[in-house]
Amino acid sequence: MPEEKSFHLTPEEFRRQGRAVIDWIADYYEKIESFPVLSQVEPGQIRASLPHEPPPHGEAFEAVLKDVDNLIMPGITHWQSPNFFAFFPANTSGPSILGELLSAGLGVQGMLWATSPACTELETHVLDWVADMLGLPAKFKSDGAGGGVIQDSASSAALCAVLAARERATLFESNRRGCDGRLIAYCSAQTHSSVEKAVKVAGLGRENLRLIETDESLAMRADALAQQIRKDKEAGLIPCFVCATIGTTSSNAIDPIPDIGVLCNKEGLWLHVDSAMSGTAAICPEYRHINQGLELADSYCFNPHKWMFTNFDCDCFYVADRKTLIQTLSILPEYLRNKATESGAVIDYRDWHVPLGRRFRSLKLWFVIRHYGVEGLRHHIRRHIELAQNFAGWVRADEQFELCAPAPLNLVCFRHIAGDEFNQKLEERLNRSGKLYLTHTLLKNHYVLRFCIGQTHTEERHVRQAWQHIRQTAEEVRGSR
Ligand SMILES: *Cc1c(COP(=O)(O)O)cnc(C)c1O
């Protein structure tokens, strides 16, 4: 009898093609600077190049990989280019990529401890390591009442924090009957939009999110927060949640966590601290002061997938009291019942976030930490901050440009003195050149350029070239007017 066709890759083919993919990635990093950083395609261009119908018969792997080059690469914006200075970094590294590959190879779904004990226990262990690496308060570690969990994003972490705050404030009544419209949450006008989304999703209602004024440095005003909480209480409302930020997305402002924390503790509000990008800086003792007051927080998150060389997605979310979080999110249908869960001796991370299923994400983080060691991570974070500080110095020294906000770490907000329209044109022309990619924000109603340094391979020469190119392009914009 003839053998039936299996359609699968044989182990031999997998080895060969797997090596080809690793080579492809290595080649990519070697020539990454030759691509325009911002993809230059028009909307719809990538789809138009793809076949209308799916292939009826399997195709050769080589043909697929070739199409990655020909059809996909033009539509890639190169986040891993050392000339990427836009938004915030979403950096990665060799050990992270390999850890991710291994995680895909194992194909583990770690919803319960029992569905892969290593997936749960490595995560708990690595998150305790990370807490020590960043000097986080001991209460966030798993040997006390708290603990950490990997979420897909800071947005999901914020949602879990809002949900736990909601339940704590209503003694788990909201879980049973929904919100009654009286719960109030607070953040500043500079807080990341994910908090507004979390408040909407959690059913508090967007009108129940108070945007607290900021001061000259764009940090939340604790006195204004206190006043608003008082006003809301007098009106019979129930203040329950505050999000403070260490390193806002727009300008890297740092909210006064100690003052906000004392207030939240006194008034019984859940304090969530979002340090999505900047949190990584605390790995260096000289920047650890950014975490001042964190011992007063109920939850904290930062993203190794931004600035700690670990590819998306990987957000570390810590709570001081895991019982409240678990009680908020726990479900136990019959088909998930098992001895280990019932014994109470294990962590089931499905109760620590919204999805049930979960990937083995701690593997890549573990690879990164073991490869670089604390020393290696510190080295690169220090270098990025130093490069940003040099850049800020060049802006300060050039009378055509000005700084628009304090630059405490790796983000510099600046503009040309010729006004909003000029800066808009300058940004557009810079990004169209493909030589670098930067983005903008609005600060105090002015159009401001943001220059954020955090890509793994950004070196001094890239930052120097970028500054030269910015100055030269500004001259061209001036000339064309
Ligand atoms: C980037 C960022 C976020 C959103 O991060 P995701 O992980 O993409 O949800 C939230 N808060 C701050 C301060 C950020 O910088």
Q: Which residues contact 250 (CB under 8 A, 6 or more apart)?
A: 190, 218, 413, 441, 442, 443, 450
Atom of ligand 1 nearest to the CA of 245: 13
Residue 463: band (very low, low, confident or very high) from pLDDT cuts 50, 70, 90: very high
Mean pLDDT over 8-33 rounds to 97
Mean pLDDT over 354-371 rounds to 97
Summarised one tens digit per residue, pLDDT across range 271-315 is 999 999 999 999 999 999 999 999 999 999 999 999 999 999 999
- Is the four-CA dihedral 139, 144, 145, 149 of positive or negative sign? positive
Summarised one tens digit per residue, pLDDT across range 129-161 is 999 999 999 999 999 999 999 999 999 999 999
Mean per-residue pLDDT of the chain: 96
Rounded CA-CA distance 21/97 in Å is 12
Please list every protein residue whose CB sits less than 6 Å from any atom of ligand 1.
88, 153-155, 192, 194, 245, 248-249, 274, 276-277, 303, 315
The helix or strand, by DSSP H or E, that contains position 143, with its residue range, turns out to be none
Q: Which of 313, 316, 292 is nearest to 302 (CA)?
A: 316
Q: What is the pLDDT of residue 2?
A: 67
Q: Is the pLDDT of residue 342 over 80?
A: no
Q: How far is the CA of 275 from the centre of ligand 1 (A)?
A: 8
Summarised one tens digit per residue, pLDDT across range 216-225 is 999 999 999 9
- In the chain the domains, ranked by start, together with CATH numbers, are 108-359 (3.40.640.10), 368-479 (3.90.1150.10)
Annotate 409-424 with DSSP letters as a single string. SSEEEEEETT-HHHHH
Rounded CA-CA distance 255/271 in Å is 12
Q: What is the pLDDT of residue 106?
A: 98
Better-predicted residue by pLDDT, 332 or 267: 267
Annotate 56-75 with DSSP letters as a single string. SS---HHHHHHHIIIIIGGG
Q: Atom 15 (ligand 1): residue with closest C-alpha?
A: 249
Q: How far is the CA of 73 from the centre of ligand 1 (A)?
A: 26
Rounded CA-CA distance 362/441 in Å is 33
Q: Atom 4 (ligand 1): residue with closest C-alpha?
A: 154
Q: What is the pLDDT of residue 332?
A: 81
- The residue count for the chain: 481
Cα–Cα–Cα angle for 239, 245, 249, nearest 5°? 125
